[in-house]
Chain A
Amino acid sequence: MNKPKRDNKIKNQHLSPVLHNTPVPDNTGRDMPHLHETAAAQDAACGLHCIQVRDLGVRDGNNVILENINLHIHCGKLTAVIGRNGAGKTTLIRAILGDIRHEGSIELTDLKDRTVKSLRLGYVPQYINIEKNTPMSVYDFFAGFISNRPIFLWKDKKVYQRVKEQLKLFEAQDFIDKRVCDLSGGELQRVLLSIAVTPIPNLLLLDEPVSGIDRNGMELFYEQIVKLKRNYDLAMIVVSHDFRFVRDYADYVILLDKTIIKEGTPEEVLKSLEFARVFGGADYGYDL
């Protein structure tokens, strides 16, 4: 963990999540682990891949949607993006994906040998619009992304097995022959998550679902995210609307409103003036 720290001192204009390993006093009495104070991140992530977003901006004509976004993310870290509706959270995700035109650059550097590598992205959308009665099984949906063999042909045993294994990671293997449109919100989310991590990306972008998933489904979804972080060498950016999740699971938090108005540990951001200004403080009902 030392190497990236040194690196951050050299370019410390934007604070890295790695710098914020300071334990947060746990006065909530809850039994959920505060991952930023545990050593969980060391399990699989080497901490030697770093993703830098420099001066990212998005414009729609003269209308500025995002500007001056600078991020520095290491593998094994979960960065949460919060902000009110229309703050540009989804736009930020889409810009990083290259789905919309943007300024600035996004680079993946391997700190071992200082080389710039091509960045492999994974993406879990907020929701996907699949009409009722759409004739598409989970297998079709999944296989279309990982195989070049046209999915209108008979199933390929090897691909089927691989899809099943990947779905198993998120306890979704039983859905493989179900139609995608028949899945519940939480089930679909787990399928999308397994698609996003096949193959394992360097950076996983998650747009947290706002609706359609019940409490239990959400809890399971969070568990999967934590498991992912622990078991794989990847960095995560999660757009979240759930401050409890942010407090308990994020290593670093970004409060967005067209640009980054506050960043730091969950503690720092959730108790900041900026946060109170955007969300109206305690009105949110979360005992932070």
Chain B
Amino acid sequence: MDTIYDLIDKLLPFSWAGYTFMKNALLGVLIISPLFGMLGTMIVSNRMAFFSDALGHSALTGIALGTVLGLAGTDASMVIFAVIFALLLNRIRRRKTLSTDTVISVFASLSMAIGLVILSAGGKFSSYSSILVGDILSISAGEIGLLLMVLILTAVFWFACFNKLHATGISDTLARSKNIHCALIEDLFCVLMAVIVMFSIRWVGILIINALLILPAAASRNISANVREYSLFSVIISVFSGITGLILSYYLGTATGPSIVIIASAIFFMTLMLQAVRTKG
């Protein structure tokens, strides 16, 4: 870790990079943002934005269950609950007869409400409120290591299953005819999404995690013609807004997550204009 810190000192001789918490935050952003950039493309393509939002909200119940059960760290209960929640939601999503976005909303609201009720019992909610906006500045070296592992896991999944997942998103009947096990692939993707969201929610925050997942991909979609450009631009936009948002928040003294979201939104509108200009010309 020290060598990395030294490296940052050498590469970035700025005042903001002098603090260890900023170094850690920078490393955290450097891992989370490409992860979200990649994941976002698939969430947007496969129309799962609602789904990832609901998943974020379920974090509160996960934490609440952890505290009720008296677990030392609430991470485990959060991840386990989110995985079960994700699989359940996916089952509902697959049953296309129901109005799925309504049902997903109901589940998301319910799980958030349960979490809030349990956590606020006895007026102690203020100690958990940081999870709403997140605080990347409090990330520790060990937690960065954990995120790195999630990044590697995602990369492996991405290389192994991207094509199949992509095909499932276009038409599952067509994918089925090519012997792709749509349900299994989708379940795996949902579990992965649950793990990623839960491991990053403390740093990013429940309220804005979905914005960070969706915005880079949505922006990239406006200016890409194929899957390669789509993925590449999404990751670049995500990393760029992550780093500028972090630096900006340092100088302005604002919360990091929302600052990143504002930058990403600005980029989104820029790409939207670019697209409008392009289609006219």
Contact = CB atoms under 8 A, between A and B. Distances in A.
Interface of A: 94, 97-99, 121-123, 125, 128-130, 133-137, 139-141, 143-145, 147-155, 177, 179, 192, 195-196, 205
A149 to B, nearest CB: 8
Interface of B: 41, 45, 158-159, 162-164, 166-167, 170-174, 176-178, 220-222, 224-232, 275
B173 A151 contact: no
Contact of A151 (B172, B177, B225, B228): B228
Given A135-B225, A135-B230, A151 B163 contact: yes
Residue of A123, A192, A195 with most chain B CB atoms under a 10 A cut-off: A123
Contact of B159 (A137, A150, A155, A192): A150
Given A152-B162, A154-B228, A97 B171 contact: no
Given A133-B221, A135-B224, A137-B226, A128 B174 contact: yes
Contact of B158 (A128, A140, A148, A150): A150
Contact of A150 (B45, B162, B226): B162
Contacts of A121: 177
Contacts, number: 87
Contacts of A192: 174
A99 B172 contact: yes
Contacts of B228: 140, 151-155
B227 A137 contact: yes
A144 B232 CA distance: 17
Contacts of B225: 135, 137, 179
A147 B164 CA distance: 10
7 contacts: A99-B177, A135-B225, A137-B225, A150-B159, A152-B158, A195-B174, A205-B177
Contacts of B170: 128, 130, 136, 141
B177 A97 contact: yes
A179 B45 CA distance: 14
Contact of B177 (A123, A148, A150, A152): A123
Contacts of A137: 225-227
Given A128-B170, A147-B163, A151-B163, A98 B226 contact: no
Contact of A133 (B162, B226, B275): B275
A153 B228 CA distance: 6
A106 to B, nearest CB: 13
